[in-house]
Amino acid sequence: MTERIIDDHDVAFFDLDGVIYLGPVAVPGAAEGIHAVLEAGARVMYVTNNAARSAETVAEHLTSLGFEAGVDDLITSAQVAANVLAETLTAGSLILVAGTRNLVDLVEGAGFRATGNADDGPDAVLQGYSPTIPWGLLDEAAIAVQRGATWYATNDDRTRPTDRGLVPGLGAQLSVVGMVVRRKPIVFGKPHAPMLDFAIRHTGARRPIFVGDRIDTDIMGANRAGMASMLVFTGAHGKRDLIETGPGDRPSYIGADVRALLEPPRVATQEGHAWLCGAASARLKDGRILLEGELTGQSGQLDALWALANLVWATNADATEALDRLDQLH
């Protein structure tokens, strides 16, 4: 068994919201963890579905929070969208952009014309997350799609973690348009292929790992790209989300935060009707799940969770009572 998870990987991709920071504040331990990953010799690349801010602005934010980050260490879904559209649409095409100024600038920089008016006859609509998007711009996007414009989206995250809690993400804004046009957009960000394909090409990664807080974007995207993944519990998804994941959507590893990359991998093994991880075990008895062993403290909790997850995935047992007990011990 490898001594540390990071030792098996040459590039570590990190989601930002909920993994590295929560709005204006850093996730506790994240800067320390990133520094340790760099010291271990792995390349660090930040990969975010949030299309609102430019890579330059995000890099400045990261630096102000104590992270080592330059523009070349960042990939945003807005950048990926502009790059792919440059290979897909005719130069000079008119695109209705429903997003921030950053998205407009990237679209124009890729050789397109941008508009916010459906009456201009746009060839395509590109939506990207904006925390202050005017409702009228969503109207224009819906009208343009109904008139035949191809509909694209930088990403489709339903929520976005902040220091105050979860807030609606771009997926909520897409739903507004989708309820009118009754179709779905072509999406570039995680878990869809364009984003992580771009990340792998950009870094030349051979043995990458993706660290994220969302199963439906980060973990699913990594699995689809054939790379290892680690779910951390500092953002959007928690214990119950992990237990409920189906085959193909499950992480390779779990960790409290990004510092888990510097720890040995958590491994669950089956013995009879029980799954063991560290000093914790989860087993079925008379149709109920019993959690036993060392269940307290962060490490004990994660060991118990990993044992429980593997038991449920193998048996489809009802984990409600066991999860309630874990929550009470937290």
Calculate the alpha carbon distances from 286 to 102, 267, 273, 274, 317 in Å. Answer: 58, 26, 11, 13, 11
The number of residues making up the chain comes to: 330
Marked catalytic residue, from 17, 73, 156, 303: 17
Phi, psi of 48 (to 5 degrees): -125, 140
Catalytic member of 15, 156, 218, 303 = 15
Residue 17 annotated to the active site = yes
The three-class DSSP label of residue 22 is strand
Please name the helix (run of DSSP H) or strand (run of DSSP E) that holds residue 210, with its range, or none. Answer: strand 208-212
Q: Of all residues in the chain, what percent are helix, strand and coil, respectively (each to 5)?
A: 40, 25, 35
What burial letters (b/e) apply to 148-161, b meaning 16+ CB within 10 Å?
ebbbbbbbbbbbbb
* CA contacts within 13 A on the Cβ side of 174: 22
Q: Look up 105 and say whether it is catalytic.
A: no
CA angle 125, 131, 134 (to 5 degrees): 55
Helix (H) or strand (E) holding 64: helix 55-64
User: Are the beta carbons of 86 and 111 closer than 8 angstroms?
Assistant: yes
Q: Is the dihedral of CA 287, 288, 289, 291 positive or negative?
A: negative
Pairing assessment for the beta strands 159-162 and 150-153 based on DSSP bridges:
unpaired
Alpha helices in 147-231 (DSSP H): 170-181, 193-203, 220-224
Catalytic residue positions, numbered: 15, 17
